Structure 1
């Protein structure tokens, strides 16, 4: 018997890519289970499937930096609970990240793809379901977006939860209206501006050394550091919550469009976000 759960949950995270750098991403998770019927006439109760998989994905993938441990571009070391990562880019630049182990998902794969992560997850989940389940399958997909969107990564040191991790992110759409009329041109401009971007807060910037920016902060979960090429980063004077990102975009556009009312609907992953309005 085949059991399926589509759109089980979504996960927001970042991952390391040899060409793109740190990539903010959002995936929808879908699950399928094969097995025999138990005494209830079920393979396994849907409630158990949803709770088990959602909890595991929320704990092990969501708001983490996914690192492909089989990649030749990776150097990784551990000192107690601290993980130190150096990632080589195709440009010759490097990205370095350090933080507590819970901020990373060390995926046993040569690169991060929907397929490689799904296979790793299934391996990690072996044995968690009743013996009536013979096979677990997972697939990840992205939200269908027919308007401009961007991939951004960030960290929120003041956050009480997992957003404090210095390199997690989202795949997000954006809507921009000028005097009540949607502007696909401005949306495309910001999608290009924030393609595979790291959004850093200036007060977390410790040093700008040549073309490399060094960020660091301490939060409840521990100490975090990130070094990234300047051309893959935009520095903001505010924190990078979605509320402040929406306001930042609106205020920036208002400054270049005097007299116009700018309304920005910024998303944080799927189905959530903030709306801000500004006029110069």
Structure 2
């Protein structure tokens, strides 16, 4: 049994630190590792999988490992990750033959539910939204029409407007978004940057903003390319008062909910 525990500990160390020298001697020639993201067969392929840095970074940052659960069939260990992690952890089940690992089933565990925090957009979220077009990750907005059909469109003018609101400059006053938000204000906005694995979904209520100073701020804080496309400012300013924000950024998972009591925030577009 001690050889099995040593093999499991070497595998754990390789998974967390990417140091595969110790575990190589514990792997059977025809070893197979099954994961949610793919399958590795043979020693070389398994060692390459263990050197993959993304999971290692999460495990090294604060995983809690269970004691090995040893049975006649093999060994099972679980790594639990903090609630802010994108998934709950890993469950690993090891099978052996002649003291060597022949099979590992590496199952990703679902993330623990997040407790919602107060809806107040962070600088990180605002910067992602305001820089979306330059980052080549333009945002989407979804709204419903009078036939209850859902429409999706990319909008280069989506911007952080306050701590609790986003804004959009819609160039066409007669377009679908301006025409429908008065009767059907519920909208959803989406940001995704695959390079940084950042995703934010914004749920809120859209309204037309006619106040001249606010209208000017929303236009002026739109991307220069979008401003040039409507240099006569014939478009419509739309503010989306947010009720919920969820997703994941560089700092971890995000869940924000507007409280029942209003938040006092300054109008105007946030930097």
Q: TM-score range by the shorter chain?
A: under 0.3
Higher normalized contact order (CA 8 Å, seq sep 6+, divided by chain length): 1
Q: TM-score, normalised by structure 2?
A: 0.24
Q: TM-score, normalised by structure 1?
A: 0.24
